[in-house]
Chain A
Amino acid sequence: MSLSLVLLVTMAVLYACGVYLLLEKSMTRVLLGFLLVGNATNLLILSMTGVAGGAPIADGDGAAATTDPLPQALGLTAIVITFGVSAFLLALIYRSWKLGRPDEVAVDEADVAVRTEGVPEEEIDGDTRAGDSEFADETGGADAVPGGADSDAPSPEEAPR
């Protein structure tokens, strides 16, 4: 089986960037990372076709000159699923923003509570304390309004690193 070098390199770049973005704390970047990884996977499926040939349904060329149609069908299904899930994830991020939460993967508070139980206050690592985020200090007012921010509320800014 021979592969297209362009497809292969593109796929590798997409995977690399996608995995990098998936590891970010900001949910929007995670979504972008997921889209990149999804497209990289579609390229992977596509490159499993082998050498590109004629359209599968066109008659007369014989099996050798025709592209394998199955990966295309699999790819289409995968694209549809990725699309649907991305839409849901976007809605989730929007809902999170409406609720006035920072755009990041939050710390599991119950987990922190178990871990810090009985530990003196000064020994608790500042980074892992529940609700301890620079963002919360900046827009603490948004949390006070139940039901979320209005459309003219300040858009959640990225926390400084």
Chain B
Amino acid sequence: MTSLVPLVVLIPMLGAAVTLTLAGRPRVQRLFAVTALSAVAVLGVVLLLIVDAQGTLVMEVGGWAAPFGIALVVDRLSALLVAVSAIVLLAVLLFSVGQGLADGHDETPVSIYYPSYLILAAGVFTAFSAGDLFNLYVGFEILLVASYVLITLGGSESRIRVGQTYIVVSLVSSMLFLSSIAMIYGATGTVNLAHVALRVAELPVGIQIVLHVMLLLGFGVKSAVFPLSFWLPDSYPTAPAPVTAVFAGLLTKVGVYAIIRTETLLFPGPELNPALLVVASLTMLVGILGAIAQTDLKRMLSFTLVSHMGYLIFGVGLGTAVGTAATIYYIVHHIVVQTTLFLATGLVERIGGTTSLRRLGGLLQASPLVAVLFFVPALNLGGIPPFSGFLGKLGLFQAGAEQGSVLAWVGIGVGALVSLLTLYALIRAWSLAFWRPRPAPVSSDTGALTLTAVDAQTTALPLTPSRPGPGSPATASDADASVPTRADARAAVAAHPDVQGRRRGAAPTLLVGATAGMVLVSLALTVGAGPLFELAERAGKSLEGPSYISSVFPDGVPGIGDGSATDGGSHG
């Protein structure tokens, strides 16, 4: 069974190699990429079932025993995240295949896209299955290097600009992580996670805190926690829609995964938990306030992404097993929902020609299906019952109340407020883009949407929180005309030359299908919340130091007589 573990990394890696050699044959390339990720998705689910039934799988690469060789460890958390990310990666891949088919590859150099995407997948899976710190670092680097390529895809001026910020920030965080690995090696003489966990407990508390903070700083940049989150809303929105979707869904979660490992396995002590709770509340607040100020759909979603990192850090910072379990459920929920929202935004961009909330409007008539596909995950992210967002937040708040410290209660209050503000930001965006009538066109003779920046300056509606009604001044010129019918809206959208050229008004089936599939997955999280929560609780238990260590070293640690060093230090 352990031989399945390296396959989740090997299949996408080999897939990347094959797709790269097939650069001139896009059809075969697409087929290979989809096949590879489908295989990994199936494998991920199988792995999850096996690990849940039999316990943690440990693969010693090359047959070298754990503290000396490189171990790949898949416990329930890893398996769950591998399965969910494989499904998400597959859905986004299908979305981008659909986009490539519809657009004729004129915007994105497709020969590079699929190999980079598969390498990104391999990096994500490497990080999730890493059993030692350095392998985790390598996993991070694999996915980051692939993400550098994807975020600067096509090399246009705006992407080069955001690419520079993104790459430099990522490099600094990698250097922090690498330095902390060096320091941990200096202090403990090992990089194997289980071994480090055993030996770190014997260090003086001061040194433990230094190492702990160093690791958290590195992971904090990657997971966009508040003071270190400034780079994210700047860089994500400029990338192509599927790339943004997969970055938003997965990359930050890999950072959170590393933070969970740090907090539960390496440094289970409570020293930094108050700091994490404070940071979590700030992340939630600052993120959502940023989101409310935005006038662009993608930027707004990027800020809500930052804000929701706060919930995850809140759950980790509680330092209780219940909190960890709630965090695990929330990660799964958030990966799915945030990706779905970005995919739906990709659809909005196709049918509306823009993501600016000043210029969008009337999309409900142009495409009711897309309106629903955006509306459901929007409510879900905002935490409306009975969706998984509500259940996830409820789980986190219950864990917080159970822990009962002042900071936990503050976190609950902030979390509830932020959830309302999220709902406000998303529903305002939905109203502006879908519900209100199309903003008044300037050239009324053709009825075409005017999308140039200059025109937008003169015709933009004042962006007020309240939805402008049909009789508001901005649309007064249209007041005599009845509300445009669905056919009118479609015609108007299609009349724009840019839209006419390659978008044809409606979104192709594969794009809508991939997004609808993701919406269904997010609904499945609601329906299957009970079993999933139980799985998360079991995953939280197998995360704990003693359980993890005994699965990596079933026969005790060579060179250490007493393996029970951390048994006394309970998590939290």
- A residues whose Cβ falls under 8 Å from a Cβ of B: 1, 22, 27, 30, 34, 37-38, 41, 44-45, 47-48, 70-71, 74, 77-78, 81, 84-85, 88-89, 92-93, 95-96, 99, 101, 105-106, 108, 110-111, 113-114, 117
Contacts and interface: CB of A to CB of B under 8 A. Distances in A.
8 contacts: A34-B168, A41-B175, A44-B179, A81-B174, A85-B141, A85-B148, A88-B145, A95-B152
Contacts of A1: 186
B564 interface: no
A44 B296 CA distance: 44
B179 A96 contact: no
Contacts of A45: 178, 181-182, 185
Interface of B: 134, 138, 141, 145, 148-149, 152, 155, 157, 160-165, 167-168, 171-172, 174-175, 178-179, 181-183, 185-186, 191, 233-234, 237, 293-296, 299
Contacts of A114: 293-295
Nearest to A44: B182
A114 B234 CA distance: 12
A108 B168 contact: no
Q: Label chain A's interface by main secondary structure.
A: helix
Contacts of A85: 141, 145, 148, 167, 171
A11 to B, nearest CB: 10
A111 B234 CA distance: 8
A41 B168 contact: no
B165 A101 contact: no
Given A78-B178, A105-B164, A105-B165, A92 B186 contact: no
Most buried by B among A27, A38, A92: A92
Contact of A74 (B134, B155, B160): B134
B175 A106 contact: no
A70 B178 contact: no
Nearest to A18: B175
Most buried by B among A78, A84, A93, A101: A78
Nearest to B148: A88
A48 B168 contact: no
Most buried by B among A45, A47, A81: A81
Given A27-B164, A85-B145, A114-B295, 14 more contacts: A41-B179, A44-B183, A74-B181, A77-B138, A85-B171, A89-B167, A92-B152, A99-B155, A99-B157, A105-B164, A108-B162, A108-B165, A110-B299, A111-B234
